[in-house]
Structure 1
Amino acid sequence: MELSNKSEYALLALLELAARYTSGESLQIRQMSVLQDIPNRYLEQLLATLRRGGLIKSIRGARGGYVLARDPRTITLLDAVSCMEGLEAIAPEVDTNTTHLESQLIQEVWHEACQAANAVLQKYTLQDLCDRRTAHGNKDLMYYI
């Protein structure tokens, strides 16, 4: 299993929006692009997908941009990844019509592995990522005398 660039970039953009959720500050595409080093054009496409998926909202006007559609404590990483990749990629079905027993066994194990990965992604929210980023940032600021 591998995290696609599409999902990783989407999570990075969502993380920036989650960090600003309590202040209500919106972020423009160019700001997110610079903060997370994501190409503008690609980011536009990702944000459109996230908006259609109901995870973010766009705000028009001079101070417009993007904000999270709901509290970062309620948006799981599975929500974000499934929005970007589609449900078929998140929960592949086991093909019981295979003629080889070994192929079916491999598919069953793969399905089980996907379910375990999904359980982990369901467990973590955008707020958890924000908290981890803060904790890691605080480690860098430790002063010794």
Structure 2
Amino acid sequence: MELSCKSEYAILALLELAAHYSSGEPLQIRQIAAQQNIPDRYLEQLLATIRRAGLVRSQRGAKGGYLLAREPWKITLLEVVNCLEGLEAKAAKENSTLKSLSSNLIEEIWHEARQAAEDVLQRYTLQDLAEKRESLQRLDIMYYI
């Protein structure tokens, strides 16, 4: 199992919004893109998808931009990945035709692996990632001093 570039960019963008959540100020696409090194146009498409899923909201105007729609501790990584990749939808599309014993065994193990990945993604929120990033940044600064 691999995290797609789309999901990685989305998580990075949401992590940036989570870091600025307490200020209540929206971030513009160009700010997020510059901070996380994401192409502007691609980020614009991602944020539109994420907005339709209800994870972010947009604010119009000169000081407009994007904000998290909910608190960062209430948005799990599983929600983010599901809205972009549709893990739950893929799991529901499993073929129910008769299969060989070996195929059923492989499918059972794959289902178990997918469930383990979903459990991990469900356990972490944007707040968890923001706190880990802040902690690592502090350690990095201390290392260079």
Task: State TM-score, norm by structure 1.
Answer: 0.93
Paired residues of 1:78 and 1:121 also in contact (CA < 8 A): yes
Residue number in structure 2 paired with 1:21: 21
Q: Please report the RMSD computed on the Cα atoms of aligned residues, expressed in angstroms.
A: 1.6
Residue number in structure 1 paired with 2:138: 138
Q: Which runs of 4+ in 1 moved over 6 A?
A: none
SS of equivalent to 2:51? helix
Shift of 1:95: 3.4
Distance 1:27-1:104 versus aligned 2 partners, 3 A rule: same
Cα distance in structure 1, aligned partners of 2:138 and 2:36: 19
Paired residues of 1:94 and 1:108 also in contact (CA < 8 A): no
SS of equivalent to 2:74? coil
Shift of 1:101: 1.2
Cα distance in structure 2, aligned partners of 1:22 and 1:135: 17
Letter matched to residue 65 of structure 2: G
Unaligned runs of 5+ in 2: none
Offset from partner CA, 1:41-64 (integer Å, 9 cap, x none): 111110000000000000000000
Paired residues of 1:28 and 1:66 also in contact (CA < 8 A): yes
Cα distance in structure 2, aligned partners of 1:57 and 1:141: 33
Cα distance in structure 2, aligned partners of 1:110 and 1:93: 14
Task: State TM-score, norm by structure 2.
Answer: 0.93
Q: Larger deviation: 52-61 or 93-102? A: 93-102
Residue number in structure 1 paired with 2:89: 88
Letter matched to residue 52 of structure 1: R
Residue 45, structure 1, aligned to residue 45, structure 2: yes
SS of equivalent to 1:13? helix
